[in-house]
Structure 1
Amino acid sequence: MRILSALVLREMATTYGKSAGGYVWAILEPVLGVLLLTVAFSLMLARPALGTNFSLFYATGLLPFTMFNDLSNKVATSIRYSRPFLAYPSVSFIDALLARVILNTLTHIVILMVVVGGIFVIYDLPIVINVAEIFEALLMIVVLAVGVGTLNCYLMTAFPVWERAWHILTRPLFLASGIFFLYDMMPSAGQHILWYNPVLHCISQFRRGIYPTYEASYVSLPYVCGVAVTLLTFGLLLLARNHRDLLER
């Protein structure tokens, strides 16, 4: 616990302590992103694809996606980020992974609460949410991000070119994860392909918790957890076998 606490404090100091405003920017960035989407799409559309509030619709899509993307990237760079500390025998690569998971998960949960809660208050929307569904969505996001990030932690450290290739390959996820358009509105041919995108399931599950009338019957918790556990298992096995060699690169 002392090692984890020290790594978490270091993460806080280096990530948010160097810039003026610190954690304020962590909240302002998604707020400005949601505001930009709200203004842009409200000028083109009469109403959002779900509900009546543009800000709430895009916040419930953008914020879960940002949480997955940021958390998976932070986990993927854990060994590189904590390389000096991993030279000590008492510090393991698991400590480095857990420290980044704990801090960044809590940070994004706070951001979600502040931004989504602020939208409910500012627009005076009726608060009819399903906390259990939201918790399940957050669990899906964290498990998936950790699985993807752990495997990428090995691949990006062992093969630096994979980091650039991964960012290029995953750029379409921003459009293919249901942030702007609901899965239900897409043509059947597109649905058959996009269903295999686990991030889409996470975002749809989160929206199901916010919008009581949204069923999202296509969401599959076993599928998301199956993908996440498979990636996590391979990632941990590769790191356990090769993490010492990776530190020398």
Structure 2
Amino acid sequence: MAISSDTTHDQPQPGRPPWEVTRSVWSALFVREFLARLMADRLAWFWMIVEPIAFVAIMIAVRVVVLGHDAQIAGAEFVPWMITGLLGFFLFRENMQRPIGAIEANQGLFAYRQVKPVDTVLVRCYLEGMTRSVIFLLFIAVGALIQLDLLPDRPVMAMAGWMSLWALGIGAGLTLSALSALVPEISKLVRIVSLPLLILSNVIAPLHLLPHDLLVYLMYNPIVHGIEYMRVGFFPYYEPLPGTDITYLWYWALGLIALGLMLHLRFELRLKAK
């Protein structure tokens, strides 16, 4: 009996499936990120809501005071048009920028072999996307109360545009988080290009006013396609920019996601040792 007992004890015990280990790691990282974001700054959630409101207020003031009249957007009111563009761009921007510091912030956790650098990036992107989605829903709810036309006419299309911008941001975040950990100067460059991207993504000023020869080059920006597609879902009579194609955005999104995952896989040991 003793021999039988020892033999049974010495047999290898089955471990948890990889997907279950990954789910546990992501759950723990999500709680860590959520609490860090909530407790790092008491006004963090406040500024997430105030930022787009401040942008809209400034743009309306500039339009009315400087030009002396309200902006005219074919098929949509100016304020809802700008709100949808700003929130869509902020979704992309935060998913692109926030993951850059995820690897360094969680460096101590890499002592556990179950935690990979890519896990910290994906969890941070998920948190950013969910946070921005909740804020967008709050804007829609408040807009309905004050009779602002923010209810999507085609909810599925509006959601598809939102998810496309989220996927594009995740791809950019995965790629830039790996590159910036290897070359720190890249993080500074990303912050510099954020403002030009805001201006060139049809967010605060309609690009259809530009000459066609220039517009052709600006349509290479995939963010424009996601924002325009989302606006078509919100406003039933809105005419998107010529050449708008959500498939083009997804080529960028899937390409960046694949590139980011390959970089994390190839340089995993270097990322852990940073």
Provide the aligned length of Structure 1 versus Structure 2: 249
Q: Matches of 2:195 and 2:78 in 1, distance apart?
A: 23
Unaligned 5+ runs, structure 2: 1-22
Q: Matches of 1:52 and 1:235 in 2, distance apart?
A: 37
Q: Quick check: 62-71 or 83-92, which moved more? A: 83-92
- The residue aligned with 1:9 is 31
Change in CA separation of 1:154 and 1:18 when aligned onto 2, cut-off 3 Å: closer
Q: After TM superposition, list the pairs within 5 Å mapping 1:34-53 onto structure 2.
A: 34-43=56-65, 44=67, 45-50=69-74, 53=77
Checking the alignment, whether the CA contact within 8 Å between 1:134 and 1:205 is kept in structure 2 is yes
Larger Cα-atom Rg = 2
- The residue aligned with 1:218 is 243
Counterpart pick for 2:176 among 149, 152, 160: 152
Q: Quick check: 1-10 or 156-165, which moved more? A: 1-10
Q: CA deviation at 1:213?
A: 0.7
Checking the alignment, whether the CA contact within 8 Å between 2:198 and 2:204 is kept in structure 1 is no
Q: Matches of 1:241 and 1:84 in 2, distance apart?
A: 20
Residue type at the aligned position of 1:129: D
Q: CA deviation at 1:28?
A: 2.4
Q: CA deviation at 1:180?
A: 2.4
- The residue aligned with 2:203 is 179
Q: CA deviation at 1:125?
A: 3.9
Q: Does the residue aligned with 1:222 lie in a helix, a strand or coil?
A: helix
Q: Does the residue aligned with 2:86 lie in a helix, a strand or coil?
A: helix
Q: After TM superposition, list the pairs within 5 Å mapping 1:24-39 onto structure 2.
A: 24-39=46-61
Change in CA separation of 1:239 and 1:124 when aligned onto 2, cut-off 3 Å: closer
Counterpart pick for 1:238 among 237, 254, 263: 263
Q: Matches of 1:164 and 1:8 in 2, distance apart?
A: 26
Q: Quick check: 152-161 or 84-93, which moved more? A: 84-93
Q: CA deviation at 1:246?
A: 2.0
- Aligned-residue CA RMSD (Å): 2.1
2:89 maps to 1:65: yes
Checking the alignment, whether the CA contact within 8 Å between 1:55 and 1:119 is kept in structure 2 is no
Q: Structure 1, residues 2-24: CA drift from partner, whole Å, max 9, x if none?
A: 22122111111111223224533
Q: Matches of 2:119 and 2:218 in 1, distance apart?
A: 35
Change in CA separation of 1:127 and 1:89 when aligned onto 2, cut-off 3 Å: closer
Change in CA separation of 1:183 and 1:95 when aligned onto 2, cut-off 3 Å: same
2:166 maps to 1:142: yes
Q: Matches of 1:162 and 1:19 in 2, distance apart?
A: 26
- The residue aligned with 1:19 is 41
- TM-score relative to the length of structure 1: 0.91
Q: Matches of 1:247 and 1:3 in 2, distance apart?
A: 16
Unaligned 5+ runs, structure 1: none
- The residue aligned with 2:146 is 122
Checking the alignment, whether the CA contact within 8 Å between 2:85 and 2:204 is kept in structure 1 is yes
Q: After TM superposition, list the pairs within 5 Å mapping 1:156-167 onto structure 2.
A: 156-167=180-191
Change in CA separation of 1:153 and 1:213 when aligned onto 2, cut-off 3 Å: same
2:128 maps to 1:104: yes
Checking the alignment, whether the CA contact within 8 Å between 2:30 and 2:123 is kept in structure 1 is yes
Q: CA deviation at 1:51?
A: 5.0
Residue type at the aligned position of 1:185: L
Checking the alignment, whether the CA contact within 8 Å between 2:88 and 2:227 is kept in structure 1 is yes
Q: Structure 1, residues 42-90: CA drift from partner, whole Å, max 9, x if none?
A: 3333333245644212211111111110111122332122211122111
